[in-house]
């Protein structure tokens, strides 16, 4: 017998990895966004000059939710590929790029540092490209699933650059509303 596992065992492994990794990736992405103050109710961000490329705010929650599900599944595909010699480097690359991904929101929104966030996202771009390449080496489907994520991260890089250009003072001169409404 030249197989390490039967097709049924491989499917079961993929299902187990998916059930664990997809919710974990979604949860970590959600927490990074929520804890950093991204999205609604961020007076600093609300008062920034928005570039023309900036889509409606609701787009980000929808797109990131879909992308986190996709990249979680792509990671599950890689994790369940026990026989691949590229499996471990691909998993390590994913963890590195995902940590960079989770760092961007606290840097941009939490620390309100668009320039540092730009550096983080450029490094993230490189890390995602490496991850996609390694995922293709492990399982072609995993690589294909990662391509929309790469495209979105590259778009986010252009958007981050435009925010830096549109707000040369880092948003310090943006008018702050006199009263903030707090809802419980």
* Inter-residue contact 80 to 17 (CB < 8 Å): yes
d(CA 53, CA 163): 10
d(CA 6, CA 78): 17
Please say if the pLDDT value at position 129 is more than 70: yes
Higher local confidence (pLDDT), 18 or 97? 97
Residues 102-106: what's their mean pLDDT? 95
Please say if the pLDDT value at position 70 is more than 70: yes
Following DSSP, what letter does each residue of 94-155 receive, concatenated? Answer: HHHHHHHHHHHHIIIIIS--HHHHHHHHHHHHHHHHHHHHHHHHH-HHHHHHHHHHHHHHHH
d(CA 98, CA 74): 13
Q: Please give the pLDDT value at position 86.
A: 95
Task: Report pLDDT digits (tens) over 147-169.
Answer: 999 999 999 999 999 999 999 98
Residues 102-112: what's their mean pLDDT? 94
Confidence at 41, pLDDT banded by 50, 70, 90: confident
Residues 131-138: what's their mean pLDDT? 97
Q: If you count DSSP H runs as helices and E runs as strands, how many of each does the chain have, helices first? A: 6, 0
The whole-model pTM stands at 0.85
* Inter-residue contact 162 to 53 (CB < 8 Å): yes
Structure tokens at 86: 């590229």
d(CA 119, CA 113): 10
Confidence at 1, pLDDT banded by 50, 70, 90: very low
* Inter-residue contact 121 to 157 (CB < 8 Å): yes
Residues 34-56: what's their mean pLDDT? 85
Please say if the pLDDT value at position 179 is more than 50: no
């Amino acid at each position: 017998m030249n197989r390490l596992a039967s097709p049924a065992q491989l499917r079961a492994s993929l299902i187990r990895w998916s059930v664990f990794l997809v919710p974990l990736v979604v949860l970590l992405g959600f927490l990074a966004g929520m804890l950093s103050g991204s999205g609604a109710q961020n007076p600093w961000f609300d008062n920034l000059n928005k570039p023309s490329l900036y889509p409606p705010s609701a787009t980000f929650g929808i797109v990131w939710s879909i992308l986190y599900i996709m990249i979680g599944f792509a990671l599950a595909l890689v994790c369940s590929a026990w026989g691949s010699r590229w499996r471990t480097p691909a998993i390590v690359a994913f963890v590195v790029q995902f940590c960079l991904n989770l760092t961007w929101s606290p840097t941009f929104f939490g620390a309100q540092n668009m320039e540092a966030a730009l550096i983080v996202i450029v490094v993230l771009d490189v890390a995602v490209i490496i991850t996609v390449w390694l995922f293709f080496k492990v399982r072609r489907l995993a690589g294909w699933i990662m391509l929309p994520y790469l495209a979105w991260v590259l778009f986010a890089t252009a958007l981050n650059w435009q925010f830096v250009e549109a707000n040369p003072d880092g948003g310090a001169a943006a008018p702050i509303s006199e009263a903030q409404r707090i809802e419980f």
